Each structure stands twice: as structure tokens, then as C-alpha cells.
Amino acid sequence: MPHHHSHPLFTARFALLALCTTLAGGAQAQGSVYSCVDSKGRRLTSDRPIVECLDREQEKRGNTGIVRQVVPPSYTADERAKLEAQRRVEDEQRARVQEEKRRERALLIRYPNQGVHDKERAEALGQIDEVIGAVNKREQALVLQRKEIDVEMEFYQGDASKAPNWLKRKIEDNEKQMVVQKRFLDEQAQEKQRINARFDEELVKLKQLWAAAGGTRTGAASR
């Protein structure tokens, strides 16, 4: 039959060990608190290792507030900087992807089929053509005005130096206006090119989106 230890000192030590084990288990069950001062001087606390302090020591405290462990740095400052830089790149990439998806959704809502897209292109170009038409009329008027000036200049054998000041100013103003009109016409021609380029680029993208949305809709009529 096994012999039972019944010495009072042994019994007391056993009881104390059991009590300590129970207390430790209870503290562990209630979790630990991590704390640190980050690179910006902020005191941070968490129930798990703190990401902002991976490059420095973190104190791990029990529920009594006593430091039970000092967790060494997981990363060096350089490694931390590289991780943050990589995270920023990834965040920017995600933001770009989300913005592109948002833009694609807006494009599909605006142009459900090619008929609608073609109509808007024609309207945009039509507005430019109206402006060009008005400029052309103004240019024709300036040409007629110049012919009248040339008739008046015949009295001075076509020598502007002999013409009165009012006629000289009229010639100068006519020439300036012609330059302005020609420059404006060039600008409108360039604007037409920009409009066509934008619609061409959109159409390439839209054809992909229409196809992905369930077949091309190039032949669909605008509603």
C-alpha cells in the first residue's frame, strides 16, 4: 500500500503551489495587455501585439498591471519603414482599382449602348461646329470690310503712309481681328480632335464593358 506524505510542511507547500497555479491560470484567462510608446511618442495599449511598435520593445502586463514580459522588437526601423512603404503602395493600388471600377460603373450608366454614346459625340461635335460657323461668318464680314478699306485706299495709291489716321486704325483693327478669328478657328479644330479622341478612347473601353455585361450592345438603339 503506497505511503501518504502527511507532514504539515509538505501539505502547506502543496497548498501554496496549488493556489499560485490557480491564480496564474486565472490571470492568463483574463488576458494580457501590451503597451508601448510608438515612433510619434504616443502611448498605445492593446490586448495583442501592437503593429505600430513592431520596431521597438513592448511591455506585456498581467491583469494586476505588473510587467510579466518585455517583448523584443519584431522588425528593425528600416524593415518597419519598408513595410509601411509597401503598405502605402498597396493602399494606393487598391484605391486606384476602386476608382477605376467606380469610373467604369459610371460610364456604363451614362452609356448603356453605343447608340447613346454616338449621339453624345455628335452633340458635342455639333456644338463646336456651331461655333465654327459663327466664326466663319465673322471672318467673311472682315473680308468684306477689308475690300471696302482697299477701295478707300485707292485714293492714296495704296500707300498706307498717306492715309488718314482713322483709316490706318481701321486697317490695323481689321488685321488684328482676322488674326484673332484664325487663331480661334485653329483652337476649335483642335477641340474637335480632343473630343473625338476622348470618345474613341471611351468606346474602346465601353465595348469591353458591354461585352462583359452580357454581349455587345453596339446595335442597340438609345432609349
Q: Is the pLDDT of residue 195 over 90?
A: yes
Collapse the DSSP code of 103 into the 3-class scheme (helix H, G, I; strand E, B; otherwise coil) and give the result.
Answer: helix
pLDDT tens-digit series, residues 180-193: 999 999 999 999 99
Q: What percent of the chain has pLDDT over 90?
A: 57
Predicted local confidence at residue 19, as pLDDT: 39
Global pTM?
A: 0.54
Domain extents in the chain: 33-74, 78-110, 113-212
Residue 83 CB partners (closer than 8 Å, separation 6+): 54, 75
Average pLDDT over residues 3-15: 41
Q: At what angle do helices 165-212 and 114-153 cross, to 10 degrees?
A: 170
- Per the structure block, which three cell numbers stand in for 129? 461646329
pLDDT tens-digit series, residues 64-99: 888 899 998 887 778 878 888 988 999 999 999 999
Give 209's strand partners: none
Predicted local confidence at residue 8, as pLDDT: 45
CB contact burial 69-99 (16+ within 10 A = b; e otherwise): eebeeeeeeeebeeeeeeeeeeeeeeeeeee
Of 2-11, 34-43, 94-103, 148-157, give the lowest mean pLDDT range. 2-11
Predicted local confidence at residue 203, as pLDDT: 96
Predicted local confidence at residue 108, as pLDDT: 93
Give the confidence band of 17 by pLDDT, cuts at 50, 70, 90. Answer: very low
